[in-house]
């Protein structure tokens, strides 16, 4: 186990290095730069800016200096926001995105898991059909449609909640529900299919014949095995949701991290593109790592010990 | 919303026990004087010397006060300057400053102005807009590093109250330039002690109607009335909240819900409804939407082809059926709203129109003269625009007009903003959309774009007579001579047609009817110095 963990950590570092290198060269390869504007910056000023940020150096040199700063934990300045460094952007934006993300993940588990279980248990009954229909909506309706509908009904029409903005729990409800729609539906379907699989197995029959209550059979015996695919999905999902959604944050006017993944590319804000991508990659590999460790606890057949 | 505000006010009044409540002046309105304005974007630079975008201008012009300011009628008036004199040759401008204080109570002096202007030009400031100050003697030379002594730059404080600006050439519209953010004063002492002062609200010092109290990046900026402002008696708003809502549909919903009083981004699909409900406010905007031709390659190297294409566009139809925001068909390049030499005359009226908004017969004739009768033998070509729903529907409409009138086939290509800008400047296109918003209220902001190898001349077009007229206009302080030269230049531009004007922009805003006495500049920014909220 110990050896496995050390190996995993090394491979995670390798992944991060590859991701940051690829992103660096890809970002630099897009035509235009942070100082490309419709009202052209005069050549003499442009030159000075490019010298200041070493854009005139060979690419490998820029890469080496960026990686050097990265090791020190310095993600550099933003070109689009004079008042912010990339570290500032992440420090300010991430807690906001993570708050909504946490609520959305919580919601998707609280709703998705029981829905999937009921659906499997009452296969082809109305309960099953209802859950499947609802999850179809959750998966197929784009989030901006949901968001706009929520804003219109809960904000503009019934005046129950603020339309958009950030400033306390009331502002979190609609974005969290919108953000939770897809994962809730996905978890429900995932739970249902793996539950159906497990419920037809012999050991469930054994458990039932021993006279255990249905509730116990489902929660103690079936769920423990059925939940594995859900746990697998949770890793990348948490990484994606916690780092913010561009559409949700833009529509609900939330100062999170999600917007930068898109706007930084438009702005050619190289350092922000890199910083946010590396941050997301770090989150993703860590989440996957935790999921793999959880496996060992959930399923005794999975072990990371060396084969003798 | 309003009810809640009253409750809060009453509650607060009870808590403080009405202590220190001076009797309100009669004209002071009783409603809460808090304005919520959607500025739509986080500022790139919040230092006036470096600001480049209209959202920044709006915020900075409410925070700072320059030598001159526009009043709500759009008249240029003295502001920090009490008076000024100009030398006979139009080169030396002496400004006499009024008694005024910074928001921290220190006096604003001519030294502050001198310091601001010189540092705006200093290479190490890296101001992208430093060229707005190339009018000052040696401004360009100092900014480019050709000279390193700031004392050679044409701005000097003689004493606390006297500022002398020396120009490279007579510049009649210099007072109009002085309203531009680059010419605003900053607090010299503050900038020397803390070069990063403009990066947060904590140490911000300004000299205008408002002062900044809170800055939550990418979310909102709060300003309150600056009690130390020299004209504070006239400022009625207690607070302005600048929100940074980027999504136009969200802005509209917040506006309809009373969460925003003033928005800047009405969604195009809603235009008809907004107009019929009287929510949309349309005001003049000093800008032109046009198509430009790459004149270095066939088929658009032929002036007859360019004229044919210009004449085949039905501009009326575009502004009524497509853009729907009160835009005007452009039958010239320089938009209206700029004064000419004679008192009360407008440059556009004096220059008149160069063609009709739609001339299909002429278009066919030009194309036949160019050797393509009924479009026969005309090569397929590509129209380039930057990715946006608005540009797309205009391009589709024009594509159809060219097809119907001229019988030519055109493919549409859209590119992401900066890719498009890059290709434009490399002349990697055949015909492309573009837009230009004036920097100051003088035809020159439109005319000097098209000089040979001009930084913003992305057409490859060059005409020595044109360059000459621009040089004449730039070298004299005689308004009559200047304006005549610029009209002559525009004659050439419209005769050669490297660019095809389509429409003159308008400012489109969502404004609550109870907001009064704001000033929307034709340059795009909004001034709330005198604004107030009426009882409603």
**What pLDDT, on the 0 to 100 scale, is given for residue B19?**
35
d(CA B151, CA A10): 59
d(CA B535, CA B514): 7
Choose between B27 and B460: higher pLDDT.
Answer: B460
pTM, two decimals, is 0.90
In whole numbers, what is the pLDDT of chain A averaged over residues? 91
**What pLDDT, on the 0 to 100 scale, is given for residue A77?**
94
Q: Which distant-in-sequence residues (6+ apart) come within 8 Å of A17 by Cβ? A: none
Judge contact between A185 and A133, C-beta under 8 A.
no
Residues of B with CB below 8 A from A41's CB?
128
Q: B257 and A159 in contact by Cβ < 8 A?
A: yes
**What pLDDT, on the 0 to 100 scale, is given for residue A307?**
54
**A217-253 confidence digits (pLDDT tens):** 888 888 888 888 999 999 999 999 999 999 999 999 9
Q: Which of residues 488-517 of B touch A (CB under 8 A)?
A: none
Say what the alpha-carbon torsion angle B347, B353, B358, B361 is, to the nearest 10 degrees.
-160
Where does the pLDDT of residue B9 fall: very low under 50, low under 70, confident under 90, or very high at 90 and above?
very low
Q: How far apart are the first and last CA of chain A?
A: 13
Choose between A106 and A297: higher pLDDT.
Answer: A106
**What pLDDT, on the 0 to 100 scale, is given for residue B314?**
97
The angle that helices A228-242 and A86-121 make with each other, rounded to 10 degrees, is 150
Where does the pLDDT of residue B7 fall: very low under 50, low under 70, confident under 90, or very high at 90 and above?
very low
Q: A82 and B44 in contact by Cβ < 8 A?
A: yes
User: Residues B80-94: what's their mean pLDDT?
Assistant: 95
Query: Which of B219, B244, B436, B524 best tests the A interface by mutation, with the highest count of A CBs <10 A?
Result: B219
Where does the pLDDT of residue B12 fall: very low under 50, low under 70, confident under 90, or very high at 90 and above?
very low
Tell me the nearest-neighbour CA distance from B377 into chain A, angstroms: 34
**B506-524 confidence digits (pLDDT tens):** 999 999 999 999 999 999 9
User: Residues B398-423: what's their mean pLDDT?
Assistant: 96
In this prediction, what percent of chain B has a pLDDT beyond 70? Answer: 95
Query: Quick check: A303 pLDDT over 90?
Result: no
Residues of A with CB below 8 A from B417's CB?
32, 266
User: Residues B322-345: what's their mean pLDDT?
Assistant: 94
Instruction: Count other Cβ atoms within 10 Å, centred on residue B268.
Output: 17
Query: Quick check: B78 pLDDT over 80?
Result: yes
Choose between A1 and A139: higher pLDDT.
Answer: A139
**What pLDDT, on the 0 to 100 scale, is given for residue B25?**
46
**What pLDDT, on the 0 to 100 scale, is given for residue A275?**
96
User: Residues B412-420: what's their mean pLDDT?
Assistant: 96
Q: A40 and B425 in contact by Cβ < 8 A?
A: yes
Residues of A with CB below 8 A from B182's CB?
none
**B343-389 confidence digits (pLDDT tens):** 889 999 999 999 999 999 999 999 999 999 999 999 999 999 999 99
> What backbone phi and psi angles, to 5 degrees, belong to A278?
-65, -40
Q: B421 and A32 in contact by Cβ < 8 A?
A: yes
**A140-178 confidence digits (pLDDT tens):** 999 999 999 999 999 999 999 999 999 899 999 999 999
Query: Which of A148, A253, A263, A267 best tests the B interface by mutation, with the highest count of B CBs <10 A?
Result: A253
**What pLDDT, on the 0 to 100 scale, is given for residue B17?**
35
Q: Which of residues 186-205 of B touch A (CB under 8 A)?
A: 198-200
d(CA A1, CA A228): 20
DSSP B197: G
Judge contact between B528 and B61, C-beta under 8 A.
no
Bond preceding residue B366 cis, omega within 30 of 0: no
**What pLDDT, on the 0 to 100 scale, is given for residue B16?**
35
**What pLDDT, on the 0 to 100 scale, is given for residue A295?**
83
d(CA A272, CA A80): 9
**A85-140 confidence digits (pLDDT tens):** 999 999 999 999 999 999 999 999 999 999 999 999 889 999 999 999 999 999 99
Query: Quick check: B23 pLDDT over 60?
Result: no
Judge contact between B525 and B283, C-beta under 8 A.
no
**What pLDDT, on the 0 to 100 scale, is given for residue B3?**
42
d(CA B402, CA B375): 10
Q: A33 and B218 in contact by Cβ < 8 A?
A: no
Number of H helices, E strands in chain A: 14, 0
3-state SS of A184-250 is HHHHHHHHHHHHHHHHCCHHHHHHHHCCCCHHHHHHHHHHHHHCHHHHHHHHHHHHHHHCCCHHHHH
**What pLDDT, on the 0 to 100 scale, is given for residue B394?**
97
Query: Quick check: B8 pLDDT over 80?
Result: no
B136 bridge partner residues: B167
In this prediction, what percent of chain A has a pLDDT beyond 70? Answer: 99
Query: Six-digit token pair at B402?
Result: 């060219």
Judge contact between B456 and A39, C-beta under 8 A.
yes
**B181-230 confidence digits (pLDDT tens):** 999 999 999 999 999 999 999 999 999 999 999 999 999 999 999 999 99
DSSP A153: I
Query: Quick check: B24 pLDDT over 60?
Result: no
H or E element in which residue B503 lies: strand B499-511
Instruction: Count other Cβ atoms within 10 Å, centred on residue B453.
Output: 8
Determine the distance from the C-alpha atom of residue B268 to the mean position of all C-alpha atoms in its chain, rounded to a whole number: 21
Q: A152 and B253 in contact by Cβ < 8 A?
A: yes
Query: Quick check: A1 pLDDT over 80?
Result: no
Instruction: Count how many pairs of residues, chain A against chain B, have C-beta atoms within 8 Å.
Output: 123
d(CA B186, CA B197): 10
Query: Quick check: B6 pLDDT over 60?
Result: no
User: Residues B463-484: what's their mean pLDDT?
Assistant: 94
User: Residues A293-300: what's their mean pLDDT?
Assistant: 81
**B135-193 confidence digits (pLDDT tens):** 999 999 999 999 999 999 999 999 999 999 999 999 888 999 999 999 999 999 999 99
Instruction: Count other Cβ atoms within 10 Å, centred on residue A85.
Output: 18
């Amino acid at each position: 186990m110990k050896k496995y963990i050390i190996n995993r950590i090394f491979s995670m570092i390798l992944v991060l290095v590859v991701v940051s290198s690829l992103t660096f060269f890809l970002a630099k390869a897009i035509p235009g730069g942070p100082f490309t504007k419709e009202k052209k910056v005069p050549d003499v000023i442009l030159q000075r800016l490019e010298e200041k940020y070493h854009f005139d150096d060979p690419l490998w040199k820029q890469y080496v200096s960026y990686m050097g700063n990265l090791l020190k934990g310095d993600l550099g300045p933003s070109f689009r926001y004079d008042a912010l460094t990339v570290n500032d952007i992440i420090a300010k934006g991430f807690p906001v995105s993570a708050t909504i993300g946490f609520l959305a993940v919580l919601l998707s588990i609280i709703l998705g898991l029981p829905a999937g279980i009921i659906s499997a248990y009452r296969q082809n009954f109305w309960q099953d059909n209802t859950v499947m229909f609802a999850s179809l909506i959750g998966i197929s309706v784009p989030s901006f449609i949901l968001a706009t509908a929520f804003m219109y009904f809960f904000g503009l029409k019934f005046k129950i909640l603020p339309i958009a903005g950030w400033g306390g729990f009331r502002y979190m409800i609609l974005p969290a529900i919108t953000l939770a729609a897809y994962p809730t539906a996905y978890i429900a379907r995932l739970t249902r299919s793996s539950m159906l699989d497990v419920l037809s197995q012999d050991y469930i029959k054994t458990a039932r014949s021993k006279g255990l209550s249905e509730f116990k059979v489902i929660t103690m015996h079936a769920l423990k095995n059925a939940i594995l695919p859900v746990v697998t999905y949770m890793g990348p999902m948490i990484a994606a949701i916690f780092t913010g959604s561009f559409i949700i944050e833009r529509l609900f006017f939330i100062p999170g991290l999600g917007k930068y993944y898109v706007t930084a590319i438009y702005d050619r804000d190289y350092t922000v593109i890199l910083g946010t991508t590396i941050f997301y990659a770090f989150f993703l590999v860590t989440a996957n790592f935790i999921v793999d460790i959880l496996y060992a606890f959930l399923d005794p057949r999975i072990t990371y010990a060396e084969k003798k | 919303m309003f009810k809640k505000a009253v409750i809060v006010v009453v509650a607060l009044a009870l808590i403080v026990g009405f202590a220190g409540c001076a009797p309100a002046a009669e004209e002071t309105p009783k409603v809460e004087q808090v304005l919520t304005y959607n500025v739509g974007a986080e500022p790139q630079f919040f230092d006036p010397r470096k600001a480049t975008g209209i959202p920044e201008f709006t915020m900075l012009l409410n925070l700072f006060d320059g030598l001159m300011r526009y009043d709500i009628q759009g008249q240029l008036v003295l502001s920090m300057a009490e008076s000024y004199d100009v030398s006979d040759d139009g080169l030396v401008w002496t400004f006499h400053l009024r008694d005024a204080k910074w928001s921290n109570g220190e006096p604003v002096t001519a030294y502050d102005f001198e310091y601001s202007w010189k540092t705006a030009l200093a290479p190490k400031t890296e101001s992208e807009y430093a060229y707005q100050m190339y009018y000052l003697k040696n401004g360009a030379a100092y900014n480019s590093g050709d000279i390193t002594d700031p004392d050679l730059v044409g701005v000097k404080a003689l004493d606390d109250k006297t500022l002398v600006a020396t120009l490279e050439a007579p510049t009649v519209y210099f007072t109009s330039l002085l309203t531009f953010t680059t010419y605003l004063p900053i607090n010299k002492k503050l900038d020397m002690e803390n070069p990063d002062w403009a990066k947060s609200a904590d140490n911000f010092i300004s000299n205008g109607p408002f002062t900044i109290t809170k800055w939550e990046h990418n979310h909102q900026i709060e300003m309150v009335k600056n009690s130390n402002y020299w004209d504070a008696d006239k400022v009625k708003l207690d607070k302005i909240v600048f929100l940074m809502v980027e999504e136009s549909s969200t802005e509209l919903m917040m506006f309809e819900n009373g969460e925003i009083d003033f928005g800047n981004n009405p969604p195009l699909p809603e235009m008809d409804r907004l107009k019929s409900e009287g929510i949309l406010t349309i005001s003049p905007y000093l800008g032109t939407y046009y198509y430009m031709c790459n004149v270095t390659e066939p088929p658009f190297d032929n002036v007859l082809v360019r004229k044919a294409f210009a004449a085949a566009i039905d501009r009326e139809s575009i502004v009524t059926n497509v853009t729907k925001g009160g835009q005007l068909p452009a039958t010239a390049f320089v938009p209206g709203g700029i004064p000419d030499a004679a008192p009360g005359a407008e440059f556009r009226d004096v220059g008149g129109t160069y063609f009709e908004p739609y001339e299909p017969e002429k278009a066919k004739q030009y194309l036949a003269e160019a050797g393509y009768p009924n479009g026969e033998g005309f090569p397929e070509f590509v129209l380039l625009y930057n990715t946006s729903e608005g540009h797309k529907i205009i391009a589709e409409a024009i594509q159809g007009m060219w097809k119907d009138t001229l019988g030519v086939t055109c493919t549409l290509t859209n590119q992401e903003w900066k890719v498009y800008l890059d290709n434009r400047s490399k002349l990697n296109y055949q015909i492309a959309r573009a837009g230009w918003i004036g920097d100051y209220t003088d035809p020159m902001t439109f005319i000097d774009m098209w000089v040979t190898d001009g930084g913003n001349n992305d057409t490859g077009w060059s005409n020595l007579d044109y360059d000459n007229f621009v040089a004449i206009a730039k070298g004299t302080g005689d308004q009559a001579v200047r304006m005549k030269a610029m009209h002559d230049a525009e004659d050439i531009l419209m005769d050669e047609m490297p660019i095809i004007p389509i429409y003159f922009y308008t400012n489109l805003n969502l404004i609550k009817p109870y907001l009064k006495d704001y000033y929307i500049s034709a340059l795009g920014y909004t001034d709330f110095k005198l604004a107030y909220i009426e009882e409603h």
